[in-house]
Chain A
Amino acid sequence: MNGVLYVAYGARARRAATAAIASLWQWNDIPVAVISDKLGAVNVPDVQTIQFPEQDASDLSDVALSRWAKVNMDRLSPWHHALYLDADTRVRGDILQPFRSIEDGFDMAICASGYQGNDAYQHVGDVERAMTLQMLTAPLQYQAGVVYFSRERCKPLFRAWRKRWLEFRGQDQAALSRAMEDEHPRVWLLGRNYNGPAGSLIEHAFGKARAL
């Protein structure tokens, strides 16, 4: 069974996730779960809330918690095949088709980032960016705000992603690139209409939700 996962920590993210789910369901009939620190995180009927972490983590900021939740999605997803969507995405059409690539055997379906080459990882801290560029030699940078994945087949990748994220506890995207170099997943590349500021299927505000 397939489903969609959102991560929402803090009031702003929960509001953004509520609007994101409404846009998803306007076009797609698919179950939704929200990973959050609070049960009933979003006030939307039929949305499952997954509380994470179960123990107190008040020493972590909402942003850090949301990224830690994201790199734990293989442990939290109720579905074998899941689509993770950032809370600041808005769905503009039928986005279920890429699940077929996961059912057909790819581990993950994801878009390339709009920033490549010398522009890669500009949003990442200086030290992490330098380490990532030092470790990786010119591979494609993926955009991790929209990720279709197989929960089982991606377990090694998520394990590596957690380990890599804990190195800096910052953004998750550079950590994903390093984890991919560790685990070599089978990736089906999607067009940016699935994840872009003007995406015709999934429009992504790229962090503006946090600034609202």
Chain B
Amino acid sequence: MAKVWMQSLGNCSVDEAGKRVTYGPAQWFQCGKHDARQFIASGSAKFANQRDQASVLDLADCGIVIGMHLFPLLETLRRDHKLPTTTHEEDAAFPFPYTRTLFLDMNATLNPRLVPVGFEHLDSGWQVAIPTCGGELLAESVGSDQDREATLSVVRNLSVPLLDTRAIFMARCNGTRQLLVEWTHEKSVVRFGDPRLAFLRAYYRVQPVTCHLPAERWME
């Protein structure tokens, strides 16, 4: 398997000829692509060069759909991962221009190091990858009475955690297309409703194959 060069930013352990070798800060080492992705996700190493980065993080078919043009996280993602972006007008139908898309809200606090990992989840068979809301925020705790009633009529139980709709990874397929259509529709059902409740209703109806992501790790 092809190996790539990395520079350790902390302590990185890799298998070399059957032995576990640990590299300290600033040391250079070679590792496989899976290990490289793990080191990048944990922030414990960086790529030695752009070519190796491109070979490990295959983001050629990925992009970001955003609600607003400029905010710090987006700048980081553009700089570090060279991802194309498309804007989305509030209340309009969602565009779906990329094979794998990150739908990103202006006030999202997504850990930028994990963005390639989110796209990778879509590559491994999940249709959707989405963080939970921190502190296990339940559907019964948000929204107006009307919004909660609309949600209860669909999902039947409001003692369920909300998903953080500020950052959603989606693979382009019939299921996610339907999910976006349903979500847009549900947002129109309750005027000024909570988008997370609208998403929960759409999610329950469509039931996409979803990789849940822990807020503790994914949101900063």
B207 touches A189 (CB 8 A): no
Q: Which range contains the number of A residues in contact with the other chain? A: 20 to 34
CA distance A104 to B206 in the complex (A): 11
Residue from A134, A189, A193 within 8 A of B38 (CB atoms): A134
Contact across chains for B41 and A191 when beta carbons are under 8 A apart: no
B37, B159, B210, B218: the one contacting A193 at CB < 8 Å is B159
Interfacial chain A residues near B217, Cβ < 8 Å: 116-117, 138
A154 to chain B, nearest CB (A): 14
- Contact across chains for A100 and B124 when beta carbons are under 8 A apart: no
Tell me whether A189 and B218 are in contact in the complex, defined as CB-CB below 8 angstroms, given that A105-B207, A138-B117 are known contacts: no
Determine whether A45 belongs to the interface, using a CB cutoff of 8 Å to chain B: no
What class of interface size applies to chain B in its complex with A? 35 or more
Closest 3 CB pairs of A and B: A116-B214, A140-B212, A117-B217
Bound together, the chains give a CA A138 to CA B115 distance in angstroms of 11
For A105, list chain B residues within 8 Å (CB). Answer: 207
Cβ contacts under 8 Å, B38 to chain A? 133-134, 137
The interface stretch among A14-22, A31-39, A179-187 is A179-187
The residue of chain A having its C-beta at the shortest distance from the C-beta of B209 within the complex is A184
Q: Does B69 contact A (CB under 8 A)?
A: no
Q: Which of A98, A112, A117 contacts B157 (CB 8 A)?
A: A98
**CB proximity of A31 to chain B, nearest CB, Å:** 22
- Please tell me if the beta carbons of B159 and A189 are within 8 angstroms of each other in the complex: no
Nearest-CB residue, chain A, relative to B111 = A138
B residues in contact with A205, CB < 8 Å: none
B210 x A104 contact (CB < 8 A): no
Q: Does B120 contact A (CB under 8 A)?
A: yes
Q: How far is the CB of A94 from chain B (nearest CB, A)?
A: 11
- Mask, B125-156, CB within 8 Å of A = 1, is 11000001000101000000000000000011
Q: Is the CB of A138 within 8 A of B160?
A: no
Bound state CA distance, A130 and B136, in angstroms?
26
Judged by a CB distance under 8 angstroms, whether B10 is at the interface is no
Q: A141-B214, A190-B161 are in contact. List 6 more A-B contacts (CB 8 A).
A: A116-B217, A137-B37, A140-B211, A140-B213, A186-B207, A190-B160
Q: Mark A175-210, 1 if CB is under 8 A from B, else 0.
A: 000000100111111111110000001000000000
Residue A25 lies at the interface, judged by CB distance under 8 Å to chain B: no
**Given A97-B157, A101-B156, A112-B161, A138 and B207 touching (CB < 8 A)?**
no
Most interface-central of A112, A141, A185, A192 (chain B CB within 10 A) = A112
A140:B132 contact, CB within 8 angstroms: yes
Q: Does A186 contact B214, Cβ atoms closer than 8 Å?
A: no
Q: Quick one: which of B16-72 are within 8 Å of A by CB?
A: 34-35, 37-38, 41
Is B216's beta carbon under 8 Å from chain A? yes
Please give me the residue from chain A that is nearest to B203 by CB atom: A188
Report chain A residues within 8 Å CB of B210.
Answer: 186-187
For chain A residues 18-56, which have a beta carbon within 8 Å of chain B?
none
Of A100, A181, A189, most B-chain CB atoms within 10 Å: A189
Q: Please name all residues of chain A whose beta carbon is closer than 8 Å to the beta carbon of B34 when the two chains form the complex.
A: 134
Q: How far is the CA of A192 from the CA of B138 in the complex (A)?
A: 10
